[in-house]
């Protein structure tokens, strides 16, 4: 209870925490959290127990989450977009005392924050299997999801780490919150940091470029847009956006942003496009919020990064994985990211070179699929692309305008050596993405989409 009250809920009663569009101040938030605690206890939740949340981004999600932690429990975060089968498997494995779900089906659509009535179901009388404060499932962009646990101390340390990063929003400013609060960027970088630092959290009414612009311009206080590269495209789609002097910057997590994309964004809006690198297992690892070092990032305060045989390792005293003993993922106090990268010995800057599995051999020649993908993504009319090795270099492409395979192949021939070019090009209406907006790189999912 103490860490929630001291780190997240402390502050003046009339300080606004949320604005959507009605305001929620700290007095109201504290009362809502206490009410949720009472409801959870009535449903069978006890200190040391676990509660599974299967809720969309909403005040119900926020207040239940804080109530679980304030009651000394573990929160199991399940994305509301998971299928019933996926949820059932997770619940059977993690055995929460209570499962919180929407009372009624959540309407599909572009809303980023919804009003939802909740249904609490008693599931078991068992205590939580571990002492972690939060249990999350990884996004599974390269394969099956992993079960990841983080302690309260770890979450608090990350929140305090954010306060030491140059360029983050400060008290009285706003975060235009686009990523889901079920996943680490929206959860810690948005919700928890915002509550601790006195930054207003403002989800736009809808997940469209116009709605994001409206949210930025709805107040005069400085605003930072927090999202993933997918959201850059939404803002780029706005025709002739108004002058927004309160627009401070956009910060993206997830995949690296191509230089052409960042340049076009900065030219259109006149604000920096910052980059963050992190993982569900650790949270924020490094940042470049001013766009000074792109594509490199500087490790966040207290984070130790090294490169071993081309792979980035992050200092982590304990394994973050539950029920998994895999020395290829964590060993001897180091988390193996499976991201290829280098650490500059002079500046300490970290350059991420893509996934380790992006290095393939074609006729005895090494090809970095990340390079092929980046080149393909820079072509006119290409909205997004994933390049994989499926017996041969294979590209899956989502177009923003009509283009033929022959046209794309002709453009690639001007930029890539023959042995680097995709042998197969699949043109898709929509590339598969994870619930966090990342492009899916799992071959089975890509083949299914192409079929």
Query: What mean pLDDT is predicted for residues 91-97?
Result: 90
pLDDT > 90? residue 164: yes
The reported pLDDT for the residue numbered 143 is: 47
Query: CB-side exposure of 374: number of CA atoms within 13 Å?
Result: 16
Query: What mean pLDDT is predicted for residues 150-157?
Result: 96
The reported pLDDT for the residue numbered 139 is: 56
The reported pLDDT for the residue numbered 113 is: 84
Residue ranges, CATH 3.40.50.980, the chain: 2-146
pLDDT > 80? residue 436: no
Residue ranges, CATH 3.30.300.30, the chain: 363-450
- Does the 2-146 domain belong in CATH 1.10.940.10? no
Q: How confident is the model at residue 422 (pLDDT cuts 50, 70, 90)?
A: very high
Q: How confident is the model at residue 89 (pLDDT cuts 50, 70, 90)?
A: confident
Q: In the chain, what is the greatest distance between 2 CA atoms, to the nearest angstrom?
A: 67
The reported pLDDT for the residue numbered 109 is: 67
**Looking at 78-87, 268-277, 310-319, which range is the least confident one?**
78-87
Within 8 A by CB and 6+ apart from 284, the residues are 158, 161, 162, 165, 188, 189, 276, 277, 278, 300, 303
The reported pLDDT for the residue numbered 142 is: 46
Most confident of the ranges 207-211, 252-256, 432-436 = 207-211
The reported pLDDT for the residue numbered 375 is: 87
- What pTM was estimated for this model as a whole? 0.84
Q: How confident is the model at residue 435 (pLDDT cuts 50, 70, 90)?
A: low
pLDDT > 80? residue 365: no
pLDDT > 70? residue 364: no
Domain 363-450: assigned CATH number: 3.30.300.30
Q: Which tokens hold the place of 81?
A: 């977009």
How far is Cα 164 from Cα 248, in angstroms, rounded to an integer? 18
Q: Which CATH class is domain 155-303?
A: alpha beta
Element (H, E) at 237: none
The reported pLDDT for the residue numbered 451 is: 84
Task: Find out whether 175 and 298 touch, Cβ atoms under 8 Å.
Answer: no
Residue ranges, CATH 3.40.50.12780, the chain: 155-303
Handedness of CA 253, 254, 260, 265 (dihedral sign): negative
Query: What mean pLDDT is predicted for residues 177-205?
Result: 95
């Amino acid at each position: 209870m103490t860490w929630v009250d001291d780190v997240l809920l402390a502050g003046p009663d009339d300080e606004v925490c949320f604005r959507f569009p009605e305001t929620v101040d700290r007095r109201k938030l504290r009362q809502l959290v206490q009410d949720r605690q009472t409801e959870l206890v009535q449903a069978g939740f006890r200190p040391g127990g676990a509660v599974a949340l299967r809720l969309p981004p909403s005040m119900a999600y926020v207040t239940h989450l804080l109530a679980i932690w304030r009651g000394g429990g573990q929160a199991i975060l399940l994305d509301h977009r998971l299928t019933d089968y996926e949820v059932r498997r997770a619940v059977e494995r993690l055995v929460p005392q209570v499962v919180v779900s929407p009372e009624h089906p959540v309407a599909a659509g572009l809303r980023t924050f919804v009003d939802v009535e909740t249904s609490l179901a008693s599931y078991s009388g068992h205590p939580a299997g571990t002492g972690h404060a939060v249990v999350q499932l990884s996004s599974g962009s390269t394969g099956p999801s992993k079960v990841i646990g983080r302690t309260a101390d770890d979450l608090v340390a990350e929140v305090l780490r954010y306060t030491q990063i140059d360029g983050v929003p400060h008290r009285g400013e706003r975060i235009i919150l686009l990523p889901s609060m079920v996943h680490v960027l929206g959860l810690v970088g948005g919700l928890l940091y915002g509550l601790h630092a006195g930054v207003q959290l403002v989800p736009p009414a809808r997940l469209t470029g116009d709605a994001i612009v409206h949210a930025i311009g709805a107040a005069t206080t400085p605003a930072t847009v927090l999202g993933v590269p997918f959201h850059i495209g939404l803002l780029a789609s706005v025709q002739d956006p108004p002058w927004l002097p309160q627009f401070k910057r956009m910060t993206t997590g997830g995949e690296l942003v191509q230089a052409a994309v960042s340049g076009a964004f900065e030219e259109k809006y006149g604000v920096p496009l910052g980059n963050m690198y992190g993982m569900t297992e650790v949270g924020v690892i490094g940042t470049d919020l001013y766009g000074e070092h792109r594509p490199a990032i500087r490790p966040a305060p207290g984070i130790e990064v090294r490169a071993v045989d081309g792979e980035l390792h992050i200092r982590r005293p304990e394994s973050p994985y539950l029920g998994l003993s895999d020395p290829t993922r964590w060993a001897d106090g180091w988390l193996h990211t499976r991201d290829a990268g280098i650490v500059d010995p002079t500046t300490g800057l970290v350059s991420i070179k893509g996934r380790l599995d992006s290095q393939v051999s074609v006729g005895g020649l090494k090809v970095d699929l990340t390079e092929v993908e980046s080149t393909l993504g820079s072509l006119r009319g290409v909205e997004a692309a994933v390049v994989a090795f499926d017996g041969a270099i294979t590209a899956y492409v989502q177009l923003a305008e009509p283009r033929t395979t022959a046209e794309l192949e002709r453009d690639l021939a001007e930029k890539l050596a023959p042995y680097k070019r995709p042998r197969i090009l699949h043109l898709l209406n929509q590339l598969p993405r994870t619930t966090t907006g990342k492009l899916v790189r799992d071959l089975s999912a890509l083949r299914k989409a192409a079929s």
